[in-house]
Amino acid sequence: MDVSLLQDLEYQPLPTKTYHVEGHRIIGTVDGLEAIRQAVDKILRTERFINLIYSADYGIELMDLIGADFEFVKADLERVITEALTADDRVRDVSDFEMKQISSDSLLCRFTIDTAEGSYSTEAEVVV
CA distance 46 to 109: 17
User: What mean pLDDT comes out for the span 26-32?
Assistant: 94
CA distance 97 to 75: 11
Are the C-beta atoms of residues 117 and 32 closer than 8 Å to each other? yes
Output the pTM of the full model. 0.84
CA distances from 124 to 41, 45, 119 (A): 9, 9, 16
- Sheet of 91-103: strand order equals 91-103, 106-115, 118-127
Please report the pLDDT score of residue 102 as a whole number.
93
Please report the pLDDT score of residue 70 as a whole number.
85
Please report the pLDDT score of residue 14 as a whole number.
67
pLDDT in tens, 37-81: 999 999 999 999 999 999 999 999 999 888 888 888 888 999 999
**Reported confidence tier of residue 1, pLDDT bands at 50, 70, 90:** low
Looking only at the bridges linking them, the beta strands covering 25-30 and 18-22 are antiparallel
Average pLDDT, the chain: 90
**Residue ranges per structural domain of the chain:** 15-127
Within 1-128, residue ranges assigned H as helices are 3-7, 33-45, 70-86
**Into which CATH architecture does domain 15-127 fall?**
Roll (3.10)
Are the C-beta atoms of residues 46 and 26 closer than 8 Å to each other? no
The dihedrals phi and psi of 56, each to the nearest 5 degrees, come to -70, -15
